[in-house]
Structure 1
Amino acid sequence: MKTITLKICLFISFITNAQEVLLQGKITCKDSPVLADILIKESNTGTNSDLNGNYTLKTTKGIHTLYISAIGYKPKEIDITINKENIKNLNIELKEDVLGLDKVVITATRGYLNRKKAPVIVTVTDAKVLEATQAVSLSEGLNFQPGLRMETNCQNCGTSEVKMNGLGGSYSQILIDSRPIFSALNSVYGLDQIPANIIKQIEVVRGGGSALYGSNAIAGTINIITKDPSENSFTIGSNLALIDGTAQDKTLMFNGTVINEDFDTGMALFGMKRQRDSYDADNDGFSEITKMENTSFGLKAFTRPNDRKKITAEFNANNEFRRGGNNLDFLPFLADVTEQIESTVFSGGLTYEYLSPSKKDNYSVYASTSFSKNKNFYGGLAGNEPTDTNIKESIRGFGKSKDITFVTGTQYAHNFDSFLNNKGTFTGGIEYKYNNIDDRKENPAFFPILQTTHILGIYAQQEWMVNNKLKILGGLRGDIHNLAEEFLVLNPRINILYNINNDLRWRTSYAKGFRAPQIYGEDVHSGLAAGEISRIRNADNLKSETSHSFLTSLDWTKELTNGDFSLVTELFYTQLNDAFALEQGTQTAPDSGIFEWIRSNSSGAKVYGVNMELKYAPNKEWLIQSGATLQRTLYNNKIEWSDTDSNQATREFNKTPNIYANTIITYAPTKAFQNNISAVFTGPMYVQHLAGYIPNDKLEKSPSFIELNCKSSYQFYLDDHKHTYFEVSAGIQNILNAYQKDFDQGVDRDVTYIYGPQRPKTFFIGLKFGI
């Protein structure tokens, strides 16, 4: 019996081996090799090409469908029939995805998905856009998406925030590689501290996202995806910018990646050193742009024990010094006005991913943490003589802040072959976030800000392919938030994608969001006016802020012979209930020099409008991409922001224009020669102007601005394979010098009265060497 069984097994093995075929070939684009993934869809088995584009794949005789995908190229499906050959040669030519229409995104559903198939509109800013616009940090690259606008909030310390669909920075959830470790303290200065050379792409989902990512994702979610190691390379570059032709902004940066021959273990390293002089726009001796020194270093590494397991580790460190005010060479307490911050940030994370043998189940476990601390000084002599008494009082402006954030969670996803008679995907997970903030000042009249946040979130969503045209996604998240008055905060979402035809897609969605009444946020940054310190406290019985967001959009893409066309039109409406608003209070104690703003609930607010994004590449030489937003953002009732003049009450959100837009035009006659023109338009907006330099509080209306930029770069190749190069670049930012002309002056100025472009006309030149 054993002999018969052995013969049967040998016969089956012989038949199987006889049917096995070796498929091999080369994957290229315009005669250049491409590093790509090749998948046989029926068996869900595959391989990847090497650095020369060559691949080898074992398969069987019969009819098969190959799916070929690569970063930066359009995916391709090929039906092949294998009859008698034991070895079949198949060379594959891919087309470059010039507009990024087929990018793989993760922010829409917490899983990797082609953005055309995502039930949520995801817009992407990639590294090419950051380079074209000469962005050195994250904050300089966020103006080039519809619905996004950067805003500088202080002349002394240069705090900034990104506004989405007219709502302030605290309404958006910022993620680093899909993890919410961007804490409240980080958000004050952190947008300037993330180097652009670490960023692979920035994914933006507009509209409520609390059902997936938790608190604060009312306006939307910004996910910064950092670069993965994909090939052995090294680049080092420098940039010198002259702000208004005088103030220097110098940057030195490097990137290096190492990966083994099997592509299963790799590491990416990055670093940046930046030094920026302060800039005084009106020659009154007080800065409009802060002096800054920033040093960043980080790494991202991965290993694959096998093709179904992956471990990823990340580490980042940042040290920054910034100072503004006047007499910047003096000790901080001897100047009239000083804001000085010395900050250190360490962050890191570990992720384990597992794919089941059936490739239908995905598991992941992750933990990430961020530790931030800073030494700061807010104050000064305020124009008084430097007597012993005044100096002793000024020294009280020193303080310390500390922030610890920890996030851990697990996620599970299952792909159904049959869910209600069609395919579907379930995603669920548990996430815990801890945040502790300790902010203290030497001044005893300034009470410490002590805040500990615990959030336990449980989320689930089901995606259902109703048919080949219709996809529905429903999700629900429950958060136990120690600062919310409710024990359990529930946030549902529903998204619908309907493919009208191969080129036209319609999406619509509803999402509920919430924001707990935390003490610390972007607006708690200590501002200075007339040498006085202002702080913010929560009103008694402050309620959580909730929202209802509705979006509907049309996404039209058309593949051209040599290029592509894309047009996205998105209508949005968000209703805010119990919306947070700031009202000016009084001095905390006589002669304390500390004034309070009170964060209270308003009767509510609403924001509505339309976002548009156009991308057009008529051929390989030209690329045009533009975005525009038309909107209104209004409180339901007027807000009393001035304590001296009730006539200044307004329904308008501060520094929120009704129209803003951006565009980038690229002309590249050769791969080596790149030319870019970019522009950012900011329409008129209402700006709150506090008394001090002016006699009374006043609601101003700003002019409109057109910030026009240009950049050209040329690469000199140093080898025949074009792997080693030397690049020279130069250009001008804000060519028209569209910059605020009515800054307050002197010690009594309102430092928050700043609006419009981040810098005046700036000349720059860059050098880069790459291998």
Structure 2
Amino acid sequence: MKSLLYSFIFLSAFTFAQTNTFKNDSLKTGIADSTKSQNNIDEVTITQFSVKKLNNPISTDVYSQQFFRKNPTPNIFESIAMVNGVKPQLNCSVCNTGDIHINGLEGAYTMILIDGMPIVSSLSTVYGLSGIPNSLVDRIEITKGPASSIFGSEAMGGVINIITKNALQAPKFSVDVMTGNQGEVNLDIAKKVINSKQLSGLLSLNYFYYGNKIDQNKDNFTDTALQHRISVFNKWNFKRNENRLASFALRYFYEDRFGGEIQWKKENRGSDDVYGESIYTNRLELFGIYQLPVKEKLLLQYSYNYHNQNSFYGNTPYMATQKVLFLQLNGEKQFGKHNLKSGISYKSNFYDDNTPGTANSSGENQPMKSPIAGVYLEDEWEISNKNTLLIGYRYDYHKVHKSVHSPRLAWKFEPNPYNTLRLSFGTGFRVVNLFTEDHAALTGSREVVIQEDLKPEKSLNTNFSYLMKIPVNNYFINVDVNGFYSYFNNKIIGDFDSEPDKIIYNNLAGHAISRGISADVSTNWTLPFQIMLGMTYMDVYAVNDDKKTRQLHAPKWSGTYTLTYQFKNQFSLDLTGQYYGPMRLPTVPNDFRPEYSPWFTLMNIQLSKKFDSGFEIYGGIRNLLNFVPKNPVLRPFDPFDNNVDNVVNNPFGYTFDTTYGYAPMQGIRSFIGMRYQIR
């Protein structure tokens, strides 16, 4: 298999493309300037895929909205699967909540930002990701690997920075409506409400509805959770003297989600008559940036989010509220060949729920209040035209965990325009909230046991990236190879194996490793046929008492593919998909289901047509090969465990469990849609 990987590195993988490319001041600000370069090899761009790599020592890839339209989906959670090494993971086979894994690490290790702000709180990483519509997105910046020196806690696995549309540059009006043969409806509408020389306002509405109880595998449970949600987004961009930045955005999100037995009705919510997982989500977000009117470049960034959860898993309630306030003041100054960046930040996190996670030793409710103050300094030193060195350091003070240090070192070597090497080292830390990170703890199907006072996780990390542009006549083939290695102390792992009806949490006595290599290859030419392929090999495991255990839902082999053919009459044909090798699954003792999933691919095809009038129509087929996992729910006929003690009918003592699923239960299905915009 290793020889296959080495061969693949030189034959396949990552396209960097964008019709309008961007140069970013820094990942954390999310502010970019447009450039008109079309075939500049330093930009690493092509017009078909709208993907590029930022030109700094930290390897960061930028994906435009046009890239994700090659497989149109209602939200970011589903779209992000098109990126090699990034995996949206369904954590519940019933209500279909999930998180986003980078390089095999669980979703709690992935920091998700909106316009550079940590607006996606830990509670919403479980419930709110499907509520971020693609209509908000101008582009998405992805950094694989730890970034705690800039972003602090929760950035150990990687950073996904969602840059929203700029109201000054957005179309006057746009609409995108999509439906499918299973009855889902997705509607995106955006309109400029004010458009002047000094101010522009953008009002955007996303509505999604799916209400069909479909049970193709005949287990009496919905194959896909029913969803009814609405998202309203309003952003204001101000044009100021000397091009100083100023923007403000507000978003409200509501969702009613249900998964469970086919006969479930609203009046069964919270009862033990019919099993259903019913989740009501209310969420408010506000965030913005303001550049101070001084000579030096000083940016004030701020965000606040309120998240309220009203949920029942069968007859088990889960009621939670989270409020997060974030403030950051950062500056930037050029001293010769040194670009200095520094900042101070404050994050206030209030979290309360009805579980043991927010109870004191006496069992009384005690909401979590965890303010974190931080300061960071970073120096990007251009040693020569070929060498750039980045040195960064962050200090955070946490009320419980006290001082936390996060240094980072990165080096970029570019001997010529055709080859670029990046190497980085650093540390990471993470403050854990179990009940917002592990959905299995909330389903009511297993008892949660916390054996000790949990300490914050720490890690040592190294990453390398090698970008090679191979000339082919007047064009290029781009090859991007990335390697990663992380060593974890105090890693917190839920033990699903010791007792089938419990999840036992404690700090790992040993250590954990996440290591691997990914390769991406793409074409960069004006031919009508474009190729983008990716493959990742990773080995993610924990060692406890000399026993090595593979990470759940972390396949050793995975990859992506995007093939596009552009016809002369503005028709486009896109074939996209992901493939996954065997991944370890949370089985129970004497489980009749395999411990590892099979090899499988989720393939999609789309045909689209653009018109000069601004209209675009598209349609296609998802899951073309009709792959669905088998037996995702254990004992679906006894969800309240009323008959588990019947040794005749249940000799192995199985209990109801929803954690086995590893892929969507929706089989082959079609979709059709229409877009229109007025510039």
Q: Which amino acid in structure 1 is aligned with residue 325 of structure 2?
A: F
Q: Which residue of 2 aligns with 1:313?
A: 248
| Contact 1:707/1:757 (<8 A) preserved | no
Structure 1 residues 427 and 666, CA gap change in structure 2 (3 angstroms): same
Distance in 1, matches of 2:469 and 2:555, equals 29
- Per-residue deviation, residues 666-708 of structure 1 (Å, max 9, x unmatched): 11224732221102101111111236xxx65977111011111
Q: Which residue of 1 aligns with 2:488?
A: 576
| Contact 1:280/1:288 (<8 A) preserved | yes
Q: Which residue of 2 aligns with 1:678?
A: 576
1:402 equivalent to 2:321? Answer yes
Q: Which residue of 1 aligns with 2:412?
A: 497
Distance in 1, matches of 2:149 and 2:33, equals 31
Q: Which amino acid in structure 2 is aligned with residue 265 of structure 1?
A: L
Q: 2:120 aligns with which of 178, 182, 188?
A: 182
| Contact 1:740/1:756 (<8 A) preserved | yes
- Per-residue deviation, residues 410-437 of structure 1 (Å, max 9, x unmatched): 0011012x2xxxx110000011111111
Q: Which residue of 1 aligns with 2:612?
A: 717
Q: Which residue of 2 aligns with 1:644?
A: none
1:98 equivalent to 2:33? Answer no
Structure 1 residues 71 and 191, CA gap change in structure 2 (3 angstroms): farther
Q: Give the share of equivalent positions with the same residue, in percent.
A: 23
Q: Which residue of 1 aligns with 2:425?
A: 510
Distance in 2, matches of 1:506 and 1:95, equals 14
Distance in 1, matches of 2:366 and 2:326, equals 22
Q: Report how many residues are paired.
A: 624
Structure 1 residues 322 and 702, CA gap change in structure 2 (3 angstroms): same
Q: Which residue of 1 aligns with 2:3?
A: none
- Per-residue deviation, residues 508-543 of structure 1 (Å, max 9, x unmatched): 010100112434432155444xxx443545432322
Give the alignment of 1:451-530 within 5 angstroms.
Answer: 451-484=368-401, 487-524=402-439, 526-528=441-443
Distance in 2, matches of 1:476 and 1:446, equals 40
| Contact 1:351/1:365 (<8 A) preserved | yes
Q: Which amino acid in structure 2 is aligned with residue 461 of structure 1?
A: E
Aligned-pair CA distance for 1:281 = 3.6
Give the alignment of 1:305-344 within 5 angstroms.
Answer: 305-326=240-261, 327-331=263-267, 332=269, 333=271, 335-344=273-282
Structure 1 residues 147 and 448, CA gap change in structure 2 (3 angstroms): farther
Q: Which residue of 2 aligns with 1:740?
A: 629
Q: Secondary structure at the match of 1:132?
A: coil
- Per-residue deviation, residues 223-255 of structure 1 (Å, max 9, x unmatched): 11111120442111211123xxxx321111112
Query: Runs of 4 or more off by more than 6 Å in structure 1?
Result: 34-38, 99-102, 444-447, 559-562
| Contact 1:635/1:651 (<8 A) preserved | yes
Q: Secondary structure at the match of 1:686?
A: coil
| Contact 1:451/1:520 (<8 A) preserved | no
Distance in 1, matches of 2:665 and 2:219, equals 19
Structure 1 residues 136 and 101, CA gap change in structure 2 (3 angstroms): closer
Q: Which residue of 2 aligns with 1:271?
A: 205
| Contact 2:617/2:675 (<8 A) preserved | yes
Q: Which residue of 1 aligns with 2:674?
A: 767
- Per-residue deviation, residues 475-503 of structure 1 (Å, max 9, x unmatched): 0000111232xx21001000000112111
| Contact 1:160/1:188 (<8 A) preserved | yes
User: What is the TM-score when the length of structure 2 is the normalising length?
Assistant: 0.85
Structure 1 residues 764 and 477, CA gap change in structure 2 (3 angstroms): same
Aligned-pair CA distance for 1:194 = 0.3
Aligned-pair CA distance for 1:165 = 0.9
Q: Secondary structure at the match of 1:98?
A: coil
Aligned-pair CA distance for 1:338 = 1.5
Q: Which residue of 2 aligns with 1:730?
A: 619
Q: Secondary structure at the match of 2:184?
A: strand
Aligned-pair CA distance for 1:125 = 2.4
| Contact 1:427/1:460 (<8 A) preserved | yes
Structure 1 residues 74 and 259, CA gap change in structure 2 (3 angstroms): farther
1:687 equivalent to 2:580? Answer no
1:706 equivalent to 2:601? Answer yes
Distance in 1, matches of 2:301 and 2:45, equals 34
| Contact 1:728/1:766 (<8 A) preserved | yes
Q: Which amino acid in structure 1 is aligned with residue 624 of structure 2?
A: I
Note the residue ranges of structure 2 that are not aligned, 5 or more in a row: 1-18, 24-31, 640-655
Aligned-pair CA distance for 1:627 = 1.7
- Per-residue deviation, residues 292-319 of structure 1 (Å, max 9, x unmatched): 1110110221112312422210111100
Structure 1 residues 729 and 475, CA gap change in structure 2 (3 angstroms): same
Q: Which residue of 2 aligns with 1:80?
A: none
| Contact 1:483/1:518 (<8 A) preserved | no
Q: Which residue of 2 aligns with 1:427?
A: 341
Q: Secondary structure at the match of 2:82?
A: coil
Structure 1 residues 296 and 684, CA gap change in structure 2 (3 angstroms): same
| Contact 2:435/2:442 (<8 A) preserved | no
| Contact 1:583/1:600 (<8 A) preserved | no
User: What is the TM-score when the length of structure 1 is the normalising length?
Assistant: 0.75
Q: Which amino acid in structure 2 is aligned with residue 633 of structure 1?
A: V
| Contact 1:408/1:431 (<8 A) preserved | yes
Aligned-pair CA distance for 1:328 = 2.8
Aligned-pair CA distance for 1:586 = 9.9
Query: In terms of Rg, which structure is larger?
Result: 1
Structure 1 residues 73 and 256, CA gap change in structure 2 (3 angstroms): farther
Aligned-pair CA distance for 1:145 = 1.8
